[in-house]
Amino acid sequence: MVIAHEIIHGFDTNGRYFDEHGNLFQWWNNETDATYRETERCIVEQYSNYTYEQVNMTLNGNTTRSENIADIAGTDLAFLAYKQWLKVHGDERRLPLLDKYTSEQMFFIAFSQIWCGNYLNERLRKDIRDMIHTPFRYRMIGSLHSSHHFSQTFQCNPNAKMNRQIKCTVF
């Protein structure tokens, strides 16, 4: 997941302005640029609607835009890579009580656990105000809200809380 996230930075808000040699160069055509900007707008709007009730603060999707793009696209890219791995190696063994989940479902469960953590209110306020990364909870929720793979893997009801109707897909 982390590797996929970092790869996506090569094509995000900033990385897209550099060619394969690291030279500043606008290599996207107007149509690609317009499509990407629409995706950016969707992601900014999505994350700007997340609120941490415990500190009564709403996220600023604009300041975390590049990282949110890398989270969403990186999660999808990592999932597709994992599916390719499964084709070659087959299903992984699961621990007792987790055998009711498919390997694909376990991917998303493991992904979600990466973002487990608690914040002191003071630190959470600072991170919401100053950081370029979205705080843990919404890094996970935001990525899964925009993942068709997640909703298909878990066969989410169209009205389920984790099955956001408008999905901001990057690539």
Which residues are catalytically annotated? 6, 71
On whether the CB atoms of residues 94 and 161 are closer than 8 A, the answer is no
Q: Three-state SS for 101?
A: coil
- The total of other beta-carbon atoms located within 10 Å of residue 81's CB is 13
On whether the CB atoms of residues 48 and 60 are closer than 8 A, the answer is yes
Rounded Cα gap, residues 71 and 162, in angstroms? 16
On whether the CB atoms of residues 124 and 51 are closer than 8 A, the answer is no
